[in-house]
Amino acid sequence: MSPDLARPLIGLASASPRRRELLGLTGWAVSNLPAGVDEVPLAGETAEVLARRLALAKARAAAASPDGLAVTLGADTIVVDGGRMMGKPADAAEAAEMLERLRGGTHRVLTALALVDPRRGTELVELCETAVPMRDYTRDEVAGYVASGSPLDKAGAYGIQDGGFQPVALERLEGCFANVMGLPLCHLVRGMRRLGHVPPADVPTACQEHTAYACRVFDRILREEV
């Protein structure tokens, strides 16, 4: 590995193991710089505006680190069902309620990515949206999943990658799988390209192999058509 690739390029303003896992597929060297920000929505704030604001706040907070990284990355994911924004459940009862609400329907998952280059004074934000169709799972399945504890650290109380209880009807999913995990990689790649950074890895191929999902939108995302 060259010295340039060994040196951290991106400071990830998140403690999420799933985001770090996905970011590792790019080949860029990463340093973790979790940034705590107040995530309470402002009055009248839409999910899109909230996600953008929080992602940028996280990236700016990480950019204040003395590490001198080239780019800091903030991300914020929001699950939206109808007009309701759903964050991480407070407890098992709320997790079960969220899953019951989402069952058999289609909701939206929004992830905003903010990239800050503190040396150039450059900031940019990407927003990815995926329509997520859910299975008509049973109450017993919900109870078992909630008892596992897995839903408690996930927006909307589920993980698309959770194979034991696969809540998403993957055969009907059209959009970005990685977005639902919390880090839309092709949006990240096109944002980083604007800052002059090309990933060492073939990111669309690596993502599809990692998720075992045949993505139908990566080429349009990279061409900036969506």
Secondary structure element (H or E) that encloses residue 133, with its range: strand 122-133
Write the CATH number for 118.
3.90.950.10
Cβ proximity of 73 and 114 under 8 Å: yes
CA distance 32 to 16: 10
pLDDT of residue 135: 97
Looking only at the bridges linking them, the beta strands covering 84-86 and 106-117 are unpaired
Secondary structure element (H or E) that encloses residue 75, with its range: strand 71-81
pLDDT of residue 8: 67
pLDDT of residue 68: 73
Each of the 226 residues of the chain gets a pLDDT tens digit; together they read 343 445 568 999 999 999 999 999 999 999 998 888 888 899 999 999 999 999 999 999 999 877 778 999 999 999 999 989 998 999 999 999 999 999 999 999 999 999 999 889 999 999 999 999 999 999 999 999 999 999 999 999 999 999 889 999 999 999 999 999 999 999 999 999 999 999 999 999 999 999 999 999 999 999 999 8
pLDDT of residue 3: 38
Secondary structure element (H or E) that encloses residue 204, with its range: helix 203-211
Active site residue 219: no
Pick from 179, 78, 222, 55: nearest CA to 125: 55
Active-site residue, selected from the candidate residues 4, 38, 67, 76: 76
Domain count, the chain: 1
Q: In terms of residue numbers, what domain contains 89? A: 3-222
User: Does pTM surpass 0.75?
Assistant: yes
pLDDT of residue 130: 98
